[in-house]
Structure 1
Amino acid sequence: MAELTPRTRLGYSLGSFVTGAFGTVPGLLLLPYLTDTMAVPAAVAGAIVLLPKAWDVLFNPLAGRLSDAGLARHGSRRPFLLLGGIGVAVCFAALFAHPGLGSMPRDAAYVVAVFFLCATAFAFFQVPYNALPAEITDAYDERTRLTSWRIAVLALAILVSGAGAPAIADAVGGIPGYRVMGVAVAALMIAGTVGVYLGLRRAPVGALRAPTPRFRELLATMREWRSFRWLLSVYFVQALGVGTLLAGVVYVARYVLGDPGLQSLLFAGFVGPALVVMPLWNRLGQRGGKLLGFRVATAVFAVALFGLVGARVLPLPVVFGFVALAGIGYAGIQVFPLAILPDLITAEEERTGATRAGVAAGVWTAAETLGLALGPGLFGLVLGLGGYVSTAGGITVAQPGSAVAAIVVGFSAIPAVLVLLGIPLLPRRVVAGPGRGRVLEPRP
């Protein structure tokens, strides 16, 4: 298949404004929204953040199967992108609307219900979005290039939403601030949805194969597809680490660094370097292979996180230096697994003669979503163990030393250990089929 045009790469990448915003803002703000405006206990708030996204573990593979069927019937996954993107934007605005139902349990139940709808709509966008790279190009290096474009735009989306959302919420203040923030982020999601829908009008669609007819065949594929399971396990534990890290940003700025206004700068310092180093990760992947790049990025990320263990005593510029280094590693651990995934899908589709992109993307997205959702839940549990004091109305109160220590550990050491687990989980070579097959490294 020919090299993709810059227009196609950019059009595909614009979908990252949907995935970046939804993957980032709830992880940053939903936990403090619950603990500091509704007075929900930290451990309960962590469970609330987790439960709706845990639904994706069951639903995302179904969304992938429906997406595969839609591709076979209509020859395109674009309708799913349009409907899913608009749906998640509307539900996101409703998530932070805070209807004020008269009691903390009722308001918390509202958040749970709307978050369930939001996660379901997001599945119909993200699953086909993750399936597309396996279909619009079959070139090894072009997939790395396409993914690099996607992650560069993702970094911009995370920067805009992750830095902008807390700034909007703080500028307006209290419950109205969260409402305005929800509408602003929803508008960003709709812009990304329209951009990817129009940008892929002329994109290649690859070979149209029959979708998997029964779940029994899908389960058989997953049992045999060892390379996919290995890569998925690495991506899951690292997503868990990233989710835990992101959940701690607001708390670190407020209680460790002593200035809530620093949360936007922390986020900008984390995501900004990705825009600069993305070409370097792309070059390393082309020269040394995707697995080498993945390992190097993992090591860089973990070293930076261990450095942040000293955030309470280190000078502020040093803290931001470690944050920037973590951002460099984060860019790499996003690029390389997503560049390897379409290689695995192509090999499996050739082996089975059936479409696997949607269902594989569904399982992949379920693992990623669960990891990112478990992160705030894990961080909330650490806060609870540290004796964190929840409040109402967004008021900042003095926290015991044990709670501040828990914030630091949950923001740095725990994510570092989880990210490092990716290195021993990766085999020496990822094989493109069950048992034997092509090795997913460039041919000599």
Structure 2
Amino acid sequence: MGAIVDDPKLVYRRTLWFYALTTIPLTAMGTFFTNFYFIYATDVLLLAPAVVGSLIAFARIYDGISDIVIATWSDRSESRHGRRRPFILVGGLMCSMLWVLFLLPDGLSNMQKILWVFVGHIWLQTALTLRSIPIRALGIESGKTAQQRTMFGILIPFLTIPAVVAVNFAGQGALQSDDPAATIAPWVIAGSLLPAILTLIAFPLLKELPTRHRSVERNVWKMIKEVLGVGYHRQLIAVQFAESFAFTSLAFSVPYMLRYVLDRPDMIAVIFVTYLVIQRIVGFAWYKMIPRWGMRAIWSKGLWMWLLVFACIPLVPWGGFPLYFALAALAGIAGGAAAVNYAMLGDIADYDARVSGRQRQGIYMTVYRLVGNIGGAATGFALGWLLQLSGYVPNGEQGETTIAAIIASSSLLPIIGVAIGLLILSRYKLYEREGMSDGKREEDGAPGAGFGSRAPA
């Protein structure tokens, strides 16, 4: 069997399981990076918070730019090996060097540390872009129903629960050890090598569909302008930005909240595991509700829960750890609803393909990731400078101004973003205006129209 097969079901199954298999070790690395890297960089690598925040922001912006290049290249490629597969292979192999972001040589000056970490960030974002954009575009191309596309967002997180639990407790233990860098070294190196090895083993099983789009070459910026010209797309990515900002704010601030606000550094892993396990399990419950509520309503309910979480964060100093734990659980329920936005993005890509005649899933995934990266960049930049300007002292007792900055970074700004996201989502009318289904059953009990298809007349 060649790399190109005209069998959407086979391609979907192979893509889903290849993605799941190779993502498990990367999720372990990503979990440590998202949950612990900021405080690891400030308290272990001893980089200034503003520097860390700025590096993360720059890397996210670079990722957005590289996304455009890779997505366009992937969309336009013509090869007997497929449009997407070569990129996925290269990205998987590049993941073998992700450990450089965490393990620095001894004796580096502060500027040398900054340069080393900067290069590590660029390598990380390049590897993940080469891998993630093409493989998720494959998921959109081969998955044709709301539930198939949503499965991409819930199966992989569910399968990675053991890795997520292990990494969170290991990360907490590493931060409390005498030599955190030496403690994490073995599993950071293993976590970098394993994705590359699994990619090599499973790559022959990955297949693609034949290319079906106009062959006319177009300027990439013109294509992006056309994609952003789709009003439904602008609405969706605005909501995506709000949620990305909210999630990243919570993730970055947890170690600081527990270490310096609540004085419970021993509970960092408990909070992260509570959120992530609930998010992954509840994702299946949201998935089951698609026929009853539809994807738009599910995402809206999740955003309302996020709003409640952030509104209660300022009460944590008085409510203590029990309140923070309850908010982490509620955030997990809210986060589980976010899987539908990937499926809704596929619906917009289908609508665009019907109107323009062009399959531009890669471009859509680019913008999707770019918006998420901008949200993460804004969060990292804001947190870094808030800590810096408030007088943050690594591994020391923090003043009232710093405590207030930590709380504000995870409550006030996200509240504004989520409120705007809810307003925009309430005006999202793709399904009504274009006769498409968001997976909700019709009132008479019959199944709704297939995802990305015309609703029955």
TM-score (norm 2): 0.85
Q: CA deviation at 1:57?
A: 2.2
Paired position in structure 2 for 1:78: 85
**8 Å contact 2:15–2:138 — kept in the other structure?**
no
Q: CA RMSD in A?
A: 2.9
Matched, 1:271 2:276: yes
Alpha-carbon contact 1:30-1:49 (below 8 Å) kept:
no
- Corresponding position of 2:139: 133
SS of residue paired to 2:396: coil
Q: CA deviation at 1:123?
A: 0.9
Aligned to 2:71: 64
* 2:55 matches 1:48: yes
The answer on whether the counterparts of 2:174 and 2:180 sit within 8 Å (CA) in structure 1 is no
Equivalent residues of 2:8, 2:209 under 8 A apart: no
Aligned with residue 98 of structure 1, among 99, 104, 115: 104
SS of equivalent to 1:248: helix
Change in 2 beyond 3 A, CA 1:54/1:306? same
Matching of residue 116 in structure 1 with residue 115 in structure 2: no
> How much does 1:270 deviate?
1.0
Out of 27, 31, 36, the position equivalent to 2:34 is: 27
Identity, % of aligned positions: 22
The equivalent position to 1:179 in structure 2, one of 174, 185, 204, is: 185
Contact 2:29 2:192 in 1 (8 A): no
Distance 2:417 2:126 in 1: 27
Q: CA deviation at 1:423?
A: 0.5
Residue in 2 that maps onto 1:441: 438
Is 1:410 the counterpart of 2:415? The answer is: no
Q: CA distance change for structure 1 residues 108 and 378 in 2, over 3 Å: closer, same or farther? A: same
Q: Quote how far apart the aligned CAs of 1:320 are.
A: 0.9
Distance 1:176 1:407, change over 3 A: same
Name the CA distance, whole Å, in 1 between partners of 2:366 and 2:262. 39
Give the 3-state SS of the residue equivalent to 2:288 in structure 1. helix
* Maintained 8 Å contact 2:26/2:192: no
Cα deviation for residue 113 of structure 1 reads: 1.7
Q: Amino acid of the residue matched to residue 68 of structure 2?
A: P
- Aligned-partner Cα distance in 2 for 1:288–1:386: 45
Distance verdict in 2 for CA 1:38–1:220, change over 3 Å: closer
Gaps of 5+ in 1: 391-395
Instruction: Tell me which moved more, 43-52 or 147-156.
Output: 147-156
Letter of the aligned partner of 2:122 in structure 1? F
Structure 1 residues 25-424: aligned runs within 5 Å: 25-70=32-77, 74-90=81-97, 92-153=98-159, 158-171=164-177, 173-187=179-193, 189-190=195-196, 193=199, 197=203, 201=206, 205=209, 208-210=212-214, 213-333=218-338, 335-390=339-394, 396-424=395-423
Q: More deviation in 33-42 or 17-26? A: 17-26
Structure 1 residues 194 and 171: CA distance shift in structure 2, 3 A: farther
Deviates more, 1:216-225 or 1:268-277: 216-225
Q: Equivalents in 2 of 1:52, 1:2: separation in Å?
A: 35
Contact 1:12 1:196 in 2 (8 A): no
How much does 1:178 deviate? Answer: 4.5
TM-fit CA distance, 1:59: 1.5
370 and 154 in structure 1: CA distance in 2 versus 1, 3 angstrom threshold: farther
Supply the distance in 2 between the matched residues of 1:282 and 1:66 (Cα, whole angstroms): 33
Moved more, 402-411 or 414-423: 414-423
The 3-state SS of whatever aligns with 2:317 is: coil
Q: 2:318 aligns to what SS in structure 1?
A: coil
Query: Equivalent residue for 1:393?
Result: none
Counterparts of 1:206 and 1:148 in 2: how far apart (Å)?
A: 27
Q: 1:106 to 1:368 in 2, by over 3 A?
A: same
How many angstroms apart in 2 are the aligned matches of 1:195 and 1:304? 42
Shift of 1:366: 1.9
Contact residue 8 and residue 142 of structure 2 kept, 8 A: no
Q: 2: CA distance between counterparts of 1:220 and 1:102?
A: 44
Change (3 A) 1:156 1:214: farther
Cα deviation, 1:74-103, whole Å, max 9, x if unaligned, reads: 33523322221231341x201111123431
Q: In structure 1, how many angstroms separate the alpha carbons of the residues matched to 2:79 and 2:308?
A: 45
- Deviations along 1:130-168, one digit per CA (max 9) or x if unpaired, are 212221121233323343323434666544444444434
Q: For the residues of structure 1 that align with 2:361 and 2:16, how far apart are their CA atoms?
A: 19
**Displacement of 1:323:** 0.7
Change in Cα spacing, 1:95 to 1:136, as seen in structure 2 (3 Å) is same
Q: Distance in 1 between the 2:29 and 2:72 partners?
A: 22
Aligned-pair distance for 1:359?
1.6
CA shift digits 1:195-227 (9 cap, x unpaired): 8746x53x5636532465322540342243111
Structure 1 CA distance for aligned equivalents of residues 77 and 199 of structure 2: 18
Give the drift of 1:44: 2.1
Per the alignment, residue 453 of structure 2 pairs with none
